[in-house]
Amino acid sequence: MDRSIAGAIGATLLLGGGLFVWQATSQQSQQLAERAPPPPAEPQLPGPPAADAPARGPAPPAPPEAKQASREERRFNRYDRNRDDLISRIELMSSRTAAFKKLDKDGNNLLTFEEWAVATSDRFAGADRDKSSTLTRAEFATTAPKRTARAKCNC
C-alpha cells in the first residue's frame, strides 16, 4: 500500500515537472518568434569600391598592449590560485610542504614573488657551470630534484 502511494506521488511529480519544462520551452519559442527581424543590409553597387570612398564609422580601438609575463611569473601564477600575489601553503599543495618551507625565507607561511624569484635564480646560477647564462642539456639535468629511495614495504 505504501509503495503504491509513493509511486503515485512520484509519477505526479514527474508529470508536473515535465509539464513545467514543456511550458517554459514553448514560451521561449514564442518570444523568439516575436522578435523583430534584423534590418535589411544596404545594397552594394556592382564594381570595386572607389579608392577615395569614406570609411564607414570610426576605426576599431587597438587592443591593449599586454605585458609579456616572464617564465618565472607564469610559474608563480600557476601556484597563486586566488591571484593575491602570495602563494599560501595550501595553494602550493600539501605534498610540497618541505619545498615550500625552504622557499619561505621569513617563515610567515606566505611566499612572495621575490622569495620565489631569488630561490629559482639561485638554482639556475648553481646549475649554470660555465656561467654562460644558458643551460645545456647536461646542466639542466642537474636541476632535477634528487629522488630518495623509498621503503618497499609500508607496513
DSSP strand pairing (87-88 vs 110-111): antiparallel
Q: What is the pLDDT of residue 32?
A: 62
Q: What is the pLDDT of residue 96?
A: 67
Residue by residue, pLDDT tens for the chain (155 residues) are: 677 887 888 778 777 777 667 777 777 666 666 665 666 665 555 555 555 556 677 778 887 776 777 888 888 887 787 888 888 767 766 456 777 788 888 888 888 888 888 887 888 888 888 888 888 878 877 776 666 776 676 66
Q: What is the pLDDT of residue 52?
A: 59
What residues does each domain of the chain span?
Answer: 71-111
In this structure, are residues 79 and 87 in contact, taking their beta carbons and an 8 Å threshold? yes
- Which grid cell is 24? 517554459
Burial class (CB in 10 A: 0-12, 13-18, 19+), 139: middle
Q: What is the pLDDT of residue 120?
A: 78
Place of cell 586566488: 82
Q: What is the pLDDT of residue 37?
A: 62
Separation between Cα atoms, residue 31 and residue 25, nearest integer Å: 10
- Which grid cell is 39? 534590418
In 3-state terms, the chain is what percent helix, strand and coil (to 5)?
Answer: 45, 5, 50
In this structure, are residues 100 and 111 in contact, taking their beta carbons and an 8 Å threshold? yes
Q: What is the pLDDT of residue 42?
A: 59
Helices 71-79 and 113-127 pack at an angle, to 10 degrees, of 130
